[in-house]
Structure 1
Amino acid sequence: MRKLLTIPRGKLASLSIDLQEEHRQDQRYLVDAYDRVLANAARLQQAARANGALVLHCAYIVDTEEAQTRPFHPVMADGRSVFSDKSNPLSAICPEVAPLDGEPVLVKSDASAFSEGSLAGRLKVDGIEWLCIAGVWTEACIDATVKDAVRLGIRVLLVKDACGSATPAMHQTGILNLANRLYGGAITNTDGACRLIGGEAVDVWAIEGSVPLRFSFASAVAAYSHL
């Protein structure tokens, strides 16, 4: 359903997830339309900074020598992670969306930004009720983070055109599947999110009922466009 939403100033934080160089330079992990995702995420960060909102960054960095590496994590012959390895320069956050001085960077070795351990406590201390989420990959780290946020009682503003995956189909179905379970949250695009960050009232998509979006392969693109 559509509804008019406003978010009180001081109650929202911006979170950029895994916007790292490997997603535009490593042929195994390229994200479709990644330059657009980066540009939209940068706009969200700029809007948050201009309005005094907390700006957070998250990076997936894997150190296979540490005990907390998740079970069955894929590794190369030399034992290093096949993606986001700590020694790989492509694990760096892209410069367009890199943190400014003083902006926290949460380093995780699993899908959810909450797996790092400090995010939930930081949001609580700062009185944050809404998390504006951008990043990659939609069906993986975005999905896990959104679901953890909902479980913890944090409202999610999911910015659909500031997220991405390997293909449009993977991204769009990932957003649609999240939309079916985004209790307490909302979905909008970058323009709408920037206006919300600035204190405006914006028409957004918000869930009503249980699993309201029944889409097929043929109807998924239209369903996504209506969010």
Structure 2
Amino acid sequence: MQSPTIVNPSLLDPVNPAVDKYMRSLVGQTDHPVLAEMEAVAAKNNFPIVGRLVGIFLETLAKTINAERIFEFGSGYGYSAYWFAKAAGPDGRVICTDGDPLNKEKAEQYLKSTGLSKRVDFCVGMAQEIFTQTEGLFDICYNDADKGDYPQIWNMAKDRVRPGGLYIADNVLWHGRVAVEHYVDIVPGWTEAILEHNMLIFNDPEFDAFINPTRDGVVVARKKT
């Protein structure tokens, strides 16, 4: 029997909406008020951000490994950087990257209002180029760039994660497209790139990996010590 064409892959919610709603009710609105403003801007402009549940997850992961040096491939206007900067502490450093200078301006305004801006260096340009110009190992390399670049970014970042550190990437379930035979892609080739990216990670003997299905799927790969 031929598999049906999935016209709207977003129907494949990794987490049942009722469960998602329950999890959101647990976290409440206890963080800085600027988060609500950032989330409202995202909703109004259909701008992709990781959202509250994934943000808390990122903060928890960073605190768990005492992360102080974090590199973000694709930072938007600083939503995920807020969570990483909170976790990194006053001596921590989060290097953000985005191709749009307006996103840098917005991020700096938002993060300044939270008191976290001194922990963040925001660079405008192609994330991969900025990464090659930045020396040293990282506690966390976080990937939320263009999905077609995911395999390249993994291959660049994996050798720059310190032992015991983490490689994290968002959107690795890609609204369910990775799990169906037929799908409608946002950009041709992006689903294939995510599939390749995920396979590369899970086949790498130097990393332990797991996908948290919250929102659109977050892969966490820990470099073995």
TM-score range, shorter chain: 0.3 to 0.5
Q: Which structure's residues are more often helix, by fraction?
A: 2
Q: Which has the higher contact order (CA 8 A, sep 6+)?
A: 1
| TM-score under structure 1 length normalisation | 0.40
TM-score in terms of structure 2 length: 0.40
